[in-house]
Amino acid sequence: MSDLTKLTLTAALDGLDSKAFSSRELTQSFIEAIEASNDTLNAYVVKTPEKALAMADASDARRAAGQAGKLDGAPIGVKDLYCTKGVRTTACSEILGEFTPTYESTVTQNLWDAGAVMLGKLNMDEFAMGSSNETSRFGPPSNPWRRAGSNRALTSGGSSGGSATAVAADLCLAATASDTGGSIRQPAAFTGTVGIKPTYGRASRYGMVAFASSLDQAGPIAKTVEDAALLTEIMCSHDPEDSTSLPVATPDWRADVHKGVKGMKIGIPAEYRVDGMPQEIEDLWSQGIKWLQDMGAQIVNVSLPHTKYALPAYYIVAPAEASSNLARYDGMRFGQRVSGDDLTDTYQGTRASGFGAEVQRRLMIGTYVLSSGYYDAYYLRAQKVRTKILQDFQTVFADVDALLTPTCPSAAFAYGEKSGDPVQMYLNDIFTVTANLAGLPGISIPAALDGQGLPLGLQVIGKALDEATCFRVAGALEEAAGFVAKPERWW
């Protein structure tokens, strides 16, 4: 039998349906692929092969009984940010020690209810803070892609770098990820995969380790737009356990993927043409515009004047919320504890040893911008900017159906290339944070290889709750780009 791990999610489900192979066989192939590669790629921080095989057998039995769900038998990887009952969940932070949840996140429960099989927990930046996974307590995963003629290890982006590596290297059919400022879309762009951040509130945050609650959103990384559409449908649901979860139905978006863009109006925001943007990114963007035009879309130049304030606003709002959310890690309830002479000493010792440098930096920034005297100057002002950014989008969306931008200002970078300078690292999020600040859906699709042979992504941003249009435009771009490249295997 050909290598089952190379199948798309949709093709694998077809194969299970037609009894070409069983979920056990499929799952076994992934377990072997993970075993053979994890020392090198470091995508999984917890492997659950026995659980996976038990879930696969249960799935095969359901399918034989004619009771298969929409994802029945499909092996999936889970970002270590989702609480999984009985399986260690640490958001790749030392402070969570060996924390093993006694409950399941709503998103992962939705997957298991649809019949999916869990392969394990995927690497990420500590508490999802980062763009390269260099802040993971377990060390970073490697990008399966390398620059032509070079064997220098590249990051697979962040914070969902493990998810992106696993999907790109065929170590799962698809993976869950999460996006607070770009953590689904940027790793997808760096690895030639598809990633969507749905509208804020589409998916439940219940059981997701919190980073910045008003920005955090669950979504998948997958091999194709259709796979992403299916997984998004299953992951999203209204959940009374999350007060910001939207009481809306979750449609089947797969049909939208092939509807084409004829007659659609696509906006091109002038402000995303930033200083110092590499020519290759410019060229890719122009190519994307041409593809859409050739397929019958109308291109409209638009302006989102407050875009330049998005990154500074994000790096105030996100750390502010993080400093509040992460106050719960005090050595009393979860994971690690460093006992001191008194309570304050215990708090300080635990937090100083349990949080890594980037998390500590964010907590200090967040505490500072919320402190009395600075609150108005920083936090309140950032919130006002956030409203302006949302209003910019609302104005242009009165006229266009979706926006097309590059996903990132660069291709995958190497370890150490940006980690010495936090601002350089933060600048990588310049095109992605806007959708989080405005709560809008955004999808990244692999569109081309750069001169060094690395994947580049295009981003489609849609109106709130209009993932359908995102999938439609993304599907058209996927078809036009015909991106089929895979990393050459070195691991």
24 or 197, CB closer to ligand GLN? 197
Task: Check residue 128 for interaction with ligand GLN (CB under 6 A).
Answer: yes
User: What gap in Å lies between CA 57 and CA 60, rounded to an integer?
Assistant: 5
CB of 169 to ligand GLN, least distance (A): 21
Residue 316 as a binder of ligand GLN (CB under 6 A): the answer is no
3-state secondary structure of 422: helix
183 is catalytic: yes
Residue of 130, 192, 288, 439 interacting with ligand GLN (CB under 6 A):
130
Whether the Cβ atoms of residue 235 and residue 269 lie closer than 8 Å to each other: no
List Cβ neighbours of 109 (8 Å cut-off, separation of 6 or more).
Answer: 207
Binding-site member from 37, 110, 142, 159 for ligand GLN (CB under 6 A): 159
48 binding ligand GLN? (CB under 6 A): no
CB nearer to ligand GLN: give 268 or 456.
456
Least Å distance, CB 142 to ligand GLN, is 18
Q: Does 161 bind ligand GLN (CB under 6 A)?
A: no
Cβ neighbours for 246, distance < 8 A, ≥ 6 positions apart: 199, 201, 202, 238, 465
Strand order in the sheet with 194-197: 44-47, 117-122, 75-79, 174-179, 217-222, 194-197, 442-449, 455-462, 402-406, 265-269, 298-302
Listed ranges 1-9, 17-25, 174-182, 478-486: which one lies at the site for ligand GLN (CB under 6 A):
174-182
Distance linking the first and last C-alpha atoms of the chain: 22
User: Is 410 an interacting residue with respect to ligand GLN (CB under 6 A)?
Assistant: no
Binding mask of the shown chain, residues 427 to 466, with x at each position contacting ligand GLN by CB under 6 A: --x-------------------------------------
26 contributes a contact to ligand GLN by CB under 6 A = no
Task: State which residue, 179 or 239, has the beta carbon closest to ligand GLN.
Answer: 179
- Tell me the one-letter amino acid at 234: I
| Distance separating alpha carbons of residues 71 and 445, to the nearest angstrom | 22
Does 318 bind ligand GLN (CB under 6 A)? Our answer is: yes
- Strand 455-462 and strand 174-179: pairing? unpaired
Best CA proximity match to 334, nearest among 108, 122, 106, 91? 91
Identity of the residue, 131 or 405, whose beta carbon is nearer to ligand GLN in the bound complex: 131
129 binds ligand GLN (CB under 6 A): yes
Report the nearest approach of ligand GLN to the CB of residue 426 (Å). Answer: 7
Q: Is 80 in the site for ligand GLN (CB under 6 A)?
A: no
Q: Does residue 136 bind ligand GLN (CB under 6 A)?
A: no
CB closest to ligand GLN, residue no: 183
Beta strands in 68-128 (DSSP E): 75-79, 117-122
Per CB under 6 A, 179 contacts ligand GLN: yes
Q: Which is nearer to ligand GLN, 211 or 309 (CB)?
A: 211
80: exposed, middle or buried (C-beta count within 10 Å: 0-12, 13-18, 19+)?
buried
Task: Find, among 183, 188, 186, 138, the residue nearest to 167 by Cα.
Answer: 188
Q: Which residues of 202-241 are buried (b: 16+ CB within 10 A; e: fewer)?
A: bbbbbbbbbbbbbbbbbbbbbbbbbbbbbbbbbbbbbbee
Q: What residues contact 57, with CB distance under 8 A and at least 6 apart?
A: 23, 24
**Residue 393: closest CA among 258, 217, 269:** 269
To ligand GLN, the closest distance from the beta carbon of 307 in angstroms equals 17
Determine which residue in the list 183, 193, 237, 350 makes contact with ligand GLN, applying CB under 6 A. Answer: 183
**Dihedrals phi, psi of 283, to nearest 5 degrees:** -65, -40
Contacting ligand GLN within 201-240 (CB under 6 A): 211
Q: Please state the closest distance from residue 291 (CB atom) to ligand GLN, in A.
A: 27
**Which residues are bridge partners to 269 per DSSP?**
302
Please identify which of the residues 29, 93, 156, 159 carries the catalytic annotation: 159
Does 181 bind ligand GLN (CB under 6 A)? Our answer is yes
Total of chain residues touching ligand GLN, rule CB under 6 A: 14
CB of 183 to ligand GLN, least distance (A): 3
Residue 135: CB minimum distance to ligand GLN, A: 9
**Which residues, 1 to 20, sit near ligand GLN by CB under 6 A?**
none
Instruction: Indicate which residue of 22, 23, 59, 79 is catalytic.
Output: 79
Nearer to ligand GLN, 60 or 126 (CB): 126
Q: Which of 22, 29, 163, 183 is catalytic?
A: 183
Q: Is 202 helix (H, G, I), strand (E, B) or coil?
A: coil
Nearer to ligand GLN, 179 or 467 (CB): 179
Q: Please, what is the minimum distance in Å from the beta carbon of residue 317 to ligand GLN?
A: 10
Closer CB to ligand GLN, residue 218 or residue 261? 218
**Could you tell me if 169 and 158 are in contact, meaning their C-beta atoms sit under 8 angstroms apart?**
no
Q: Is 131 one of the binding residues for ligand GLN (CB under 6 A)?
A: yes
Closer by beta carbon to ligand GLN, 211 or else 347: 211
Say whether residue 182 binds ligand GLN (CB under 6 A): yes
Q: How many beta carbons lie within 10 A of that of residue 191, not counting itself?
A: 31
Is the previous residue joined to 159 through a cis bond, with omega within 30 degrees of 0? Answer: yes
Distance CA 71, CA 52 (A): 14
Which residues contact ligand GLN by CB under 6 A?
128-131, 158-159, 179-183, 211, 318, 429
Catalytically annotated residues: 79, 159, 183
